Structure 1
Amino acid sequence: MTHLDDLVNWFENKGKVMIALSGGVDSALVAYAAFKKLGPSAIAVTADYKTLSKEELETAKKICSEIGIRQIFLDYNELENEEFTKNDSNRCFHCRMELGDHLIKLAEKHNIGIIVDGTNIDDLGDYRPGIEALKQNGIRSPLVETNFSKSQIREAAKFVGLSVFDKPSNSCLASRIPWGQRVTAEKLTRIELAENIVKQLTNLNHVRVRDLNGSAKIEVDKEMIPLFDDDILKHLIEKFEMIGFTTVRVDPEGYRPGKINVIAD
């Protein structure tokens, strides 16, 4: 698989490398390639910054176990960063600048010269201020430099046996809150609980619950909307009200990335 070989060989003569690893397939493939070429000189770092779901953290642990790569956890609280919690259109930029600072300090501590992430060429077409922040911190993107698209990443991950090859893309829980509405611990907790409730009741993996000033909007792939019959909706409303939502509705348009990237009143 020549394209995968290109990714593995990207790590040739790179010395010690740190991989910013989330619970997704992109950084998983980067970690696999780095470990294949560098062995113990490749270290995965997963940031627990309080806006990543527990599910994503558990998946990150599983990925590292499958690969055999050493994993370090960065533990800090983004909710202490006012630039982040005020939640304007630069939220992701402030998030990634802070992450970059932590990664650089950790890399210096472990005498690591290169930090990489899982950005791929498909990411470059979206509004992603976080990518710009990582670039400013000198963090490199081997998937971009070897011209990997999302579909090629999934294909390669399946080929090498990574269990996350078909895992739906995810983003931090703060992305469920419209710009202009403050990010709080309370909102993040109820969003995570709500998404778990929907997954348990429907057996769906790809779920977003948007928190619109306490009103829940459920987004799933459009073809899955018919699953939400009267019985399911009744259970959802009961459970959502118990965790603090005032109203609940399923978005008839279905899920689309970046859907609430607008400044809300």
Structure 2
Amino acid sequence: MSTNSTKRMEDSKQSRYPLLINWFKSRNCKVIVALSGGVDSALVTLAARQALGKENVLAITANYQTLANEELETAKKVAKEIDVIHHLLEYNELDNPNFTKNDSLRCFHCRNELAINLLKVAKEKNISLIVDGTNLDDVDDDRPGMIALHSMGIKSPLLDIGLGKKEVRHFAKINNLSVHDKPSNSCLASRVPHGTEINSVKLRRIERCEMIIKKLSGVRQVRVRDHDTIARIEIERSEISKLCNLDKIDKIVFEIRELGFKHVTLDLEGYGKKEIGKLNEDEIITIDKYVKK
């Protein structure tokens, strides 16, 4: 590719960030941003702050007891970097039997409850606009949670203007956001296979296992899938070599077994998007029963 072509591509990318700022300016109102601690919601929060000013932006991070403490601390750090008003929304989604039964609609019930709680805050503070960090690439996955949020009126500015993950990271980097290269994460409940009930004991055990692996191996992204007596470790393929050390392996296995697992395995396919298929017809009907009309 020629230098001129590369420059045109860069100029095109640069011109898209003002679209995000203008998305907020055109609405000209106070906004609640669901700040998860990831790069997507961080960029949305920054754009809202630049467009509307500090006094018109409320960043809310939901501490619903299934998010790793590391993610909560990152959200607090990002809020300070951007200099926005930041509130923690405290509730326990483990009190919701529709969530803890952990069927294929777990994420729908999680995001639906989040939306309900955000809407309560919005009503109390007389704020009409709530946004999240859903980006264009997210529509490629099965996202019952996204359906839940949008059905409750939560907006996704990144999706509206067509920004994908790569562009989000680019704009986060040039705006000096510390999370610009932070690996994507999800709630701890996603480590428990569908059909297995979720409880706080499982979640805290998973969180502890992931902390152990990060500390002893230096990997940046890890998932520990809880298969009852088996802990299945997933890390990026590029980082698998960091575990190719018998001393590290022995320490990791010992500490994870101390937490109650009998077997510790490493998924050699590595962490990444896996084919989970489309929602079948019954699941679509089930979602429709819950979606707000």
Instruction: Confirm or deny a common fold (TM above 0.5).
Output: yes
Q: Deviations over 1:65-123 (max 9, x none)?
A: 00001001100001000000000000000000000000000000111000000000000
Contact 2:218 2:242 in 1 (8 A): no
Residue 17 of structure 1 aligns with which residue?
31
1:112 is matched with which residue? Answer: 127
Q: How far 1:233 sits from its partner (Å)?
A: 1.5
1:240 matched to 2:253: no
Q: Could you say what secondary structure the match of 2:103 adopts? A: coil
Corresponding residue to 1:158 among 166, 173, 179? 173
Matches of 2:272 and 2:173 in 1, distance apart?
25
Which protein is bigger by CA-based radius of gyration?
2
Q: TM-score, normalised by structure 2?
A: 0.87
Where do 1:186-197 residues align within 5 Å? 186-197=201-212
Q: Deviations over 1:39-67 (max 9, x none)?
A: 11011000000000000000000000000
* Contact preservation (8 Å) 1:168, 1:206: yes
Which of the numbers 60, 67, 89 marks the counterpart of 2:75? 60
Q: Is the 8 A contact 1:90 1:129 kept in 2?
A: yes
- Consecutive unaligned residues in structure 1, runs of 5 or more: none
Deviation at 1:159, TM superposition (A): 0.7
Deviates more, 1:170-179 or 1:232-241: 232-241
The one-letter code sitting in structure 2 at the alignment partner of 1:125 is D
State how far apart, in whole Å, the 2-side matches of 1:161 and 1:16 are: 25
| Cα pair 2:193 2:227 within 8 Å, conserved | yes
What count of residue pairs does the alignment treat as equivalent?
262
For 1:233 and 1:132, the matched residues in 2 are separated by: 41
Tell me which of 228, 232, 247 is aligned to 1:231: 247
Corresponding residue for residue 126 of structure 1: 141
**Number of the residue aligned with 2:273:** 257
Shift in Å, 1:260: 7.9
Instruction: Report the counterpart of residue 35 of structure 1 in structure 2.
Output: 49
The one of 1, 6, 21 equivalent to 1:8 is 21
Amino acid at match of 1:220: I
* TM-score of the superposed pair, with normalisation by structure 1: 0.96
% identical equivalent positions: 49
SS of match in other structure, 1:255: coil
Distance 1:143 1:173, change over 3 A: same
Over 3 Å counting, the alpha-carbon distance change for 1:258 and 1:93 in structure 2 is: farther
Matched residue SS, 2:154: coil
User: Is the 8 Å Cα contact of residues 178 and 260 (structure 1) preserved in structure 2?
Assistant: no
| RMSD, aligned α-carbons | 1.4
Q: Which residue of 1 aligns with 2:283?
A: none
